[in-house]
Amino acid sequence: GIMYRELKAFDKALANFQKANAIDPKHLQSLFNQGIVYAQDLKDKPKAIKVWKRVIELDPASLQAQNSQKAIEELNASPALR
């Protein structure tokens, strides 16, 4: 997924992250990465926040949850994506 994102093939990147998450629904990094693509590349704030909230819900003490919370706060503070 990361390599597809680097190539700006965002649909393929999402598909790979979603496939990883389908194989392991608790795979936090694939969920976090989906949020990155939604927020930064597709400018879809609601979807980004939805997947990041899922990360936080699955494992609130994880590094990915901490990063998700920070990303949500930054996204909400960004005037370009309100």
CA distances from 44 to 22, 37, 76 (A): 21, 9, 12
Helix axes 28-36, 45-58, angle to 10 degrees: 160
pLDDT, tens digit, 9 for 90 and up, residues 62-82: 999 999 999 999 999 987 654
- pLDDT tens profile 43-67: 999 999 999 999 999 999 999 999 9
Tokens of 58: 């699955």
pLDDT of residue 81: 54
